[in-house]
Structure 1
Amino acid sequence: MHANIGPSDSPITRAILRADAELKQVSPNLTFIYDPEITPDDLLLEVAKNICECSKPHIANGPVHDKIFTKGGYGIVSCYNSLPLAGGGSTLVRLNLKAIAERSESLDDFFTRTLPHYCQQQIAIHRCAV
């Protein structure tokens, strides 16, 4: 699960930050979208305090993402992926290397048979998504 807050200040944003700092849980993942034209300094300071408390939220550069997509037309879906709103998540596929290794008979089999097979499966999924 992932949630985005910011760049504007609001009571809800502040409440989410307070709850996240108090609970110190790994989930949900949280990203603060920062915009120097919109975000007040005291809110950015609160975000920094939260990072010290619970290693969250991650900070995304709003103006950079606004140029790539449209202003506010995207979501941060993990600490390093941004996608357009209302679609795009189907391209975010991953390989579970542990599970692939468990399906391998040996180290050589992992690199020559199972890993290439699942990489091809991932490519096929991506082709269907676009």
Structure 2
Amino acid sequence: MTKDEQIELVKRYFASVDDEDLNGVLSTLAGDCAFSVETHNVRLEGHEAISGMLKRLWANHEAVRHFDFVFIPDPEAGRIAVRFRVENTEHDGSVTRKSNCNFFETRAGQFSAIAVYMAGANTLQQSD
């Protein structure tokens, strides 16, 4: 992948998360994608486990928005790092703001691994 292709894949991933488009998110992930929230000791592997996490995220918030991206692509190594801001709109209308970093590994045009470093409380619960 080129730098631009890596950046576009990250943008598509986050747009799908924000749009609650599960198929869109899964289209960016390898079937055996490893997903971790390093700051909260969460480890998931594969579409089924990641889908459950996303469904909980969407059910627990009125809306989720990722923005203000800073990309550090490394296509030769198959990696891209991204710093960004997150706004989670709660069901009561309040907004939780965070600053996060994700580290993505790519394989064959999809993400094979995603490591999340999240400020504040964990909004990507492994289970209820």
Tell me which of the two structures has the higher relative contact order, counting C-alpha pairs closer than 8 angstroms and 6 or more residues apart. 2
Class of the TM-score when normalised by the shorter of the 2 chains: under 0.3
Q: Which has the larger radius of gyration?
A: 1
Q: Which has the higher strand share?
A: 2
TM (normalized to structure 1)?
0.24
TM (normalized to structure 2)?
0.24
